[in-house]
Each structure stands twice: as C-alpha cells, then as structure tokens.
Amino acid sequence: MSEQEIVTSIADRLKASGDVKVVFGEPRVIEGKTIVPVASVAYGFGGGAGSGPQGQGEGHGGGGGLRVKPLGVLEITSERTRFVPVVNATRLATMAIMASVCIVWMLTRAFRKRR
C-alpha cells in the first residue's frame, strides 16, 4: 500500500467517524423525557516523509488521535428543553484544594510581613 493510499484510507475512516451521532448520542426516552447525550469531539492527524543523500535514506511517519469529552445531556420535555452539564467532581475537588492552598499561602505571607 502506498503512502497516498494509507493517508487516504485514514482520512476516509476519520470522515466516516465524524458523524453527528459522535457529538449527539442516541436519544433515549425515560419517564416522559427525551435525553440526548452531548459530547465534544476533537480529531488530530499528522504525517511525515523523508529522504536521504542521493535517495538512499528513507523515512515515513504518521499519527492521529481522537478525544471525546462528555459535556452533558439535553433534556427535552413537552414544557421545555434544557442542557444539563456533566459535573466532574474530581476536577472540582482538585481546584478547590489548589485554591485553598493558594489562599493559605497568601495569608501566611501577609501575616509574616506584618511582624
């Protein structure tokens, strides 16, 4: 398989997976509410080539990546539609701890300067 065929094959697979269903999941009806999962999707792709002195060297390379991050759900009822975000408790706890450490450090510095 040539380099061009490999790149074309990978690009075709990425196009096929770039469906709206990747971002908006299959709707589910639960207790009279329609729930639609929502995610953020990012693709990355890179490639390389090479050569050498007088055509003796060679080089190839390539890579790709996919990141899917859940954002929340759309909750659809007969009265309204609303977005309910996913809450990452670990991230919130980490941020709270870091903020507490910063506040304690700043207060400690302020009290030391007064002495």
Does 114 fall in a domain? no
Structural domains of the chain, count: 1
Q: Which domain holds residue 56?
A: 3-86
Does 73 fall in a domain? yes
Tens digits of residue pLDDT in 2-13: 767 877 887 777
Whether the full predicted model's pTM is greater than 0.85, yes or no, is no
Does 92 fall in a domain? no
Does 55 fall in a domain? yes
Percent of the chain with pLDDT over 70: 91
Q: Which residues touch 76 (CB under 8 Å, ≥6 apart)?
A: 27, 33, 34, 35, 36
- 88, two tokens: 């990452």
Least confident of 11-15, 35-39, 88-92: 11-15
